[in-house]
Amino acid sequence: MMDFITKKGFRNLAQGLIKDYVFYGPVTKDGFPAFSRIEEFSQLKLSQTPSHISAKGFLFPPKETLLRFDIEKGMAEGVADAEKQVLFGLHSCDVHAINLMDRVFSYGKPDVNYLKRRENTIIVGTECVPDEYCFCASIGTMTVDEGFDIFLHGVKGGFIARAGSGRGRSLLKKYASPSKTKRAALKELERLTEKKKTLFKARLDIDDPSLLPLVYSFADGHPVWEKIGAVCYGCGSCNNVCPTCYCFDVRDEVSMDLKKGTRSRVWDGCTLEDFAKVTGGMNFRKTRADRLRHRFNRKFRYLADRFKGLFCVGCGRCSRTCLVKINISEVTNEILRASKERPLAVPAGKSKG
């Protein structure tokens, strides 16, 4: 449903949510957009371009205690802290990323920590404009229809507010005095959406992104992996900023007297040297080329097979942050060029049926 809220309604909505919830939204840090805790409306700086670091840490923190134990008492108790919180100012790609994370953390044995936090999180999306790294239009994530409570599109005089849940509808009524959207505002939104499609500098040279898993299944021997592996620092920044990277390591910390301790999870990254190292020192992905090939295949192939959706939402954060300018859309286009030079066939071992 599309409602209209005035600029004053917007201010009342944000102020009400800031007052009543733990509120995270976009601010400007060192000249760049970033998500942060906000306690005053004046701190909120809606950004049309993406934050450098995604908002995933508010649902899946970089370090999180899962368990407390007492060795003497033979006691262990789970820890699942989840305050009621608002994530405000997420863009369409970020909401798609959260929808993917929901699938990951619900798969198999549900992840209590993530799901409890997710349930307690109100998501308010806002419209965006692509910068030179965004390529969501090529992935099908430029707009979003689910996974948010409210999504706001700036138009003349205020915002078109889409409620994506009953909770979102109630919040709009409670804080923002919504009214019926006029036809002119809807037309304006249509025009803005069409214009946005023309603003992308980065794009993938493929009409149907659902073919990317097949394209990647032929790319294991492509020279691009050695080329980018030769310059990659193995720093893990691309994993850290990505809204859909969810790998973690589990660590136990025990008190000095060895009586009590905690078990925590901390973010891990497949581009780091030790990620695939096992006991005895064997490393399944020894080279940076191996690790980058793995990362790209996770985004466009392996997880697509398991979760039925590409695991790259086209936010461009990994390209934006990489010190040696490894660019995910350019790498994918190199692979696509090779695939166009020789027609795709069903890989050996897979039947056509």
Report residue 295 as tokens: 């990362």
Q: Give the burial class of 103: count Cβ atoms within 10 A of its Cβ; 0-12 exposed, 13-18 middle, 19 or more buried.
A: middle
Q: Is 181 in the site for ligand SF4 (CB under 6 A)?
A: no
Q: State which amino acid sits at residue 136.
A: C
* Binding string, residues 286-325; x marks residues near ligand SF4 by CB under 6 A: -------------x------------xxxxxxx--xxxx-
For residue 287, the minimal CB distance to ligand SF4 (Å) is 12
CB of 318 closer than 8 Å to CB of 202: no
**Tokens 């959207």, located at residue:** 181
For residue 285, the minimal CB distance to ligand SF4 (Å) is 13
Q: Is 142 in the site for ligand SF4 (CB under 6 A)?
A: no
> Would you say 4 or 275 has its CB closer to ligand SF4?
275
Q: 19 by DSSP, 3-state: which?
A: helix
Half-sphere exposure of 277 (CA within 13 A, CB side): 11
> Would you say 324 or 344 has its CB closer to ligand SF4?
324
Question: Can you spell out the DSSP letters for 201-237?
Answer: S---S-S-GGGHHHHHHT-TT-THHHHHHTT-----H
> Would you say 46 or 235 has its CB closer to ligand SF4?
235
Q: Which of 138, 237, 264, 332 binds ligand SF4 (CB under 6 A)?
A: 237
For residue 296, the minimal CB distance to ligand SF4 (Å) is 8
> Would you say 154 or 213 has its CB closer to ligand SF4?
213
For residue 86, the minimal CB distance to ligand SF4 (Å) is 23
CB of 204 closer than 8 Å to CB of 332: yes
Q: Is 331 in the site for ligand SF4 (CB under 6 A)?
A: no
Q: Is 152 in the site for ligand SF4 (CB under 6 A)?
A: no
Q: Is 147 in the site for ligand SF4 (CB under 6 A)?
A: no
Other C-beta atoms within 10 Å of 145: how many? 11
> Would you say 304 or 313 has its CB closer to ligand SF4?
313
For residue 112, the minimal CB distance to ligand SF4 (Å) is 25
Q: Is 50 in the site for ligand SF4 (CB under 6 A)?
A: no
CB of 253 closer than 8 Å to CB of 242: no
Q: How far is CA 154 from CA 8, 168, 286, 295, in A?
A: 13, 17, 48, 36
Q: Is 232 in the site for ligand SF4 (CB under 6 A)?
A: yes
Q: Is 327 in the site for ligand SF4 (CB under 6 A)?
A: no
Whole-number Å distance between alpha carbons of 151 and 118: 17
> Would you say 206 or 326 has its CB closer to ligand SF4?
326
Half-sphere exposure of 34 (CA within 13 A, CB side): 10
> Would you say 176 or 242 has its CB closer to ligand SF4?
242
**Tokens 């086209």, located at residue:** 314
Residue of 191, 233, 223 lying closest to 324 (CA atoms): 233
> Would you say 184 or 323 has its CB closer to ligand SF4?
323
Binding residues vs ligand SF4 (CB under 6 A): 232-238, 241-244, 271, 299, 312-318, 321-324, 326, 328
